[in-house]
């Protein structure tokens, strides 16, 4: 809604500047009272509309500022929450990396220890096997030597007894 107040004020100003001056009073003039009062009444009638529009603009401005502040607060809170989450995630990642490093170090240490123990076990088992084989070999050599000695001192083999009478050695028997 456009305001007529500036136009009405301009008309009142023109009326006063064009008015006839009084003799002996340079600052005083004669104007038509009714015309001036009509202009002032119109200006006064326009003021409530202008004041209402001004109040609406001020209220709208206040609401806009309030909404902007709320939105800014929401954006700030969201940004702070995101930053906290990112920091927490970074802490979680750091903790996970630290734990992973500790686990890898522990696993490597355990692997080295297991490898050492396994090597000792295999070496011990092989040593015992070697000792058992050496003992068995020694026993076999001793048995062989005893066998040779017994074979040298044994009486010569006897001839087999003759077959019973009526059986020839080349006969075949049926079952």
Q: What confidence tens digit (pLDDT) does each residue in 160-174 have?
A: 677 677 766 666 655
Q: Which two tokens stand for residue 116?
A: 């050492």
The reported pTM is: 0.36
Q: What confidence tens digit (pLDDT) does each residue in 60-92 have?
A: 888 889 999 999 999 999 999 998 888 888 888
What whole-number percentage of the chain has pLDDT above 90? 23
Q: Considering Cα of 70, then 72, then 78, then 84, what sign does the dihedral take?
A: negative
3-state secondary structure of 133: helix
Q: What confidence tens digit (pLDDT) does each residue in 87-120 have?
A: 888 888 888 889 999 999 999 999 998 899 999 9
């Amino acid at each position: 809604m456009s305001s007529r107040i500036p136009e009405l004020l301009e008309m009142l100003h023109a009326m006063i500047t064009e008015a006839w001056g009084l003799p002996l009073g340079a600052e005083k003039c004669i104007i038509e009272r009714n015309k001036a009062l009509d202009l002032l009444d119109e200006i006064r009638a326009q003021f409530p509309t202008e004041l209402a529009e001004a109040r609406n603009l001020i209220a709208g401005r206040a609401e806009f500022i309030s909404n902007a502040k709320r939105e800014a607060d929401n954006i700030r809170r969201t940004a702070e929450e995101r930053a906290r989450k990112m920091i927490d995630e970074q802490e979680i990642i750091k903790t996970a990396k630290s734990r992973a490093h500790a686990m890898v170090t522990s696993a490597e240490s355990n692997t080295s220890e297991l490898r050492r123990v396994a090597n000792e076990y295999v070496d011990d088992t092989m040593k015992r096997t070697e000792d058992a084989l050496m003992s068995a070999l020694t026993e076999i050599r001793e048995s062989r030597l005893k066998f040779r000695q017994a074979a040298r001192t044994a009486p010569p083999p006897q001839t087999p007894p003759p077959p019973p009478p009526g059986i020839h050695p080349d006969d075949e028997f049926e079952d």
